[in-house]
Amino acid sequence: MPATPSPYPAEALVSPLRTLSAEWVLLPDGWHQRMEIRFDTDGVIHDVAPATGSPDEDLLVPGMINGHSHVFQLDLIGRNQRFQHPGDDFWSWRTGMYALASTLTPTTQEDVAYRAFRAMLAHGYTTVCEFHYTHGATRRDNGEMPVLMSEAVLRAAERAGIRIRLLPVLYQQGGFGERPLTREQRSFGLDTQVYLGLMDHLRHEVPLSSLQTLGYAPHSLRAVGLDALRDLVDHRNETAADAPIHMHISEQVREVNEAVLGLGRRPVEWLIDTFDLDASWCLVHATHMSPAERSALAASGAVVCLCPTTEADLGDGYFSLLDWLAHRGTWAIGTDSNGSVNPAEEIRLLDWHQRLHTRRRNAFQFDSSLGAGTRLFQQALAGGRQAASLPVGRIEPGAFADVIALHRTPRHADMAADDILNAWLYSANPSWIRQVYTEGQPRLTPTP
């Protein structure tokens, strides 16, 4: 294979390039043998070419993008799996989540975020879109709390070595109809001008590392009214047009029904009718769409972010990915409540949902040139790249050198590279991962 043309002018190469090579590398057009990735000191890939020496790794694949995470919910694991009453559901689950959120300080926020980010890296996530709404706003004696809580998440990400798109959340209502926040929700709430001031402060006053960028996150239609949502979108358009907008939508049937009563339309329908959705929008869950909503949303170019392990845990329902793909829709995966921080778990469960629904093992009927897991992995990478709005999820010139190194044991020496990738995805066993790199730097080593 000839060397991939470089986007860099020759005079720009003022420092030596670093290299990372493998026996097999998953490039955008498929597997290639004995390839070398060359990247600069900023961790940006300069070119991909045939390797000249012994490979560093067995297999290299793009690092996965976590399109939706609430890091603090990592500490809910094991605390919310006990029967409480017959109607236990998403809405009752929130009680425990609110109680946990109310205990957070900048110190504990950084601690849980660091543990979550390290776990994500160990399982193959190299980028995370952190949907951050634990602003600590009940501390009226300290007006800097929202800034301190955001900075705590950013510090944790830098310490861990994960790429982050921090999405501070606008959260103002306790439900449709401008219901006031409950006592338990007050720590999430920010006035619109305070929120926009927070965004300006983080962008201009906080020194962001090369791994850190910002985006916008109106929590949901039930938590943000029309005027505030318009102000947020206008601020994004005027000050950071390249930043994505992420929003929860249509996660619960009750939410859809309340939207019809409060807004006169279903959530996705209302959003499409009210705003010019495009590829910069990421709608999280979108579980309960009508066929008309599904068709219109796919046509808008927006990406949906699916969180199968959380959606299963909370009894949300499952996403009809087959129907979404029939409309050429784009999708990403996320960890949401972080009960699982394993991209293989999300992809496997997403596939199994479709298999159970269709009662077919190969529900997607992909061609046989690559495994079903590989095809889904590639689609999740493409959707994650769009959701993060960053040059990630591909091994190509101009992208960040954020990759996963998989390895074969002597017992699996005869397995093809594609079978190794599918073994990881369908076993969800992180022992297939030997190393994870962001900016070309190994991250599965102890850090302070």
H or E segment to which residue 154 belongs: helix 145-160
Domain 64-388: give its CATH architecture: Alpha-Beta Barrel (3.20)
**297 alpha-carbon distance from chain centroid:** 19
Position 4 scores a pLDDT of 46
Position 420 scores a pLDDT of 97
pLDDT at 93 over 70: no
The per-residue pLDDT for range 236-279, each reduced to its tens digit, is 999 999 999 999 999 989 999 999 999 999 999 999 999 999 99
Amino acid in position 62: P
Residue 85 CA to residue 422 CA, distance in Å, equals 40
Position 297 scores a pLDDT of 98
Alpha-carbon torsion 362, 368, 370, 376, what sign? negative
Position 3 scores a pLDDT of 45
Mean pLDDT of 82-103: 69
Percent of the chain with pLDDT over 90: 80
Position 140 scores a pLDDT of 61
Return the structure tokens found at 52: 């000249």
Position 134 scores a pLDDT of 94
Q: What predicted TM-score, i.e. pTM, was given to this entire model? A: 0.93
Average pLDDT for the chain: 92
Position 34 scores a pLDDT of 98
H or E segment to which residue 202 belongs: helix 192-204
Band (pLDDT 50/70/90 cuts) for residue 99 is: confident
Choose among 270, 271, 291: nearest CA to 282. 271
Burial 337-372 (b: 16+ CB within 10 A, else e): bbbbbbbbbbbbbbbebbeeeeeeeebbeeeeebbb
Q: Which residues are catalytic?
A: 285, 336
Name the 3-class secondary structure at 139.
coil
Domain boundaries, the chain: 10-62+393-442, 64-388
Name the 3-class secondary structure at 213.
strand
Position 82 scores a pLDDT of 60
Q: Are 270 and 221 in contact (CB under 8 A)?
A: yes
* DSSP class per residue in 220-260: -TTTS-HHHHHHHHHHHHHH-TTS-EEEEES-SHHHHHHHH
CB under 8 Å to 74, separation ≥6 — which residues?
A: 112, 115, 116, 119, 338, 341
253-263 vs 267-274: helix crossing angle, rounded to 10: 50
Choose among 121, 241, 221, 137: nearest CA to 179. 221
The per-residue pLDDT for range 27-71, each reduced to its tens digit, is 999 999 999 999 999 999 999 999 999 999 999 999 999 999 999
The per-residue pLDDT for range 108-165, each reduced to its tens digit, is 999 999 999 999 999 999 999 999 999 997 666 667 999 999 999 999 999 999 999 9
Name the 3-class secondary structure at 155.
helix
Position 94 scores a pLDDT of 67
Return the C-alpha torsion angle 113, 117, 120, 122, nearest 10: -130
Least confidently predicted of 88-92, 213-217, 284-288? 88-92
Q: How would you class 201 by CB atoms within 10 Å of its CB: exposed for 0-12, middle for 13-18, buried for 19 or more? A: middle
Name the 3-class secondary structure at 437.
strand
Mean pLDDT of 290-308: 98
The per-residue pLDDT for range 372-386, each reduced to its tens digit, is 999 999 999 999 999
pLDDT at 91 over 60: no
- Please give the angle made by the CA atoms of 312, 121 and 135, to the nearest 5 degrees: 70
pLDDT at 325 over 80: yes
Band (pLDDT 50/70/90 cuts) for residue 16 is: confident
pLDDT at 13 over 50: no
Least confidently predicted of 40-49, 185-194, 212-221? 185-194
Band (pLDDT 50/70/90 cuts) for residue 76 is: confident
Residue 377 CA to residue 371 CA, distance in Å, equals 10
Q: What is the CATH number of domain 10-62+393-442?
A: 2.30.40.10
pLDDT at 192 over 50: yes
Return the structure tokens found at 403: 């990759």
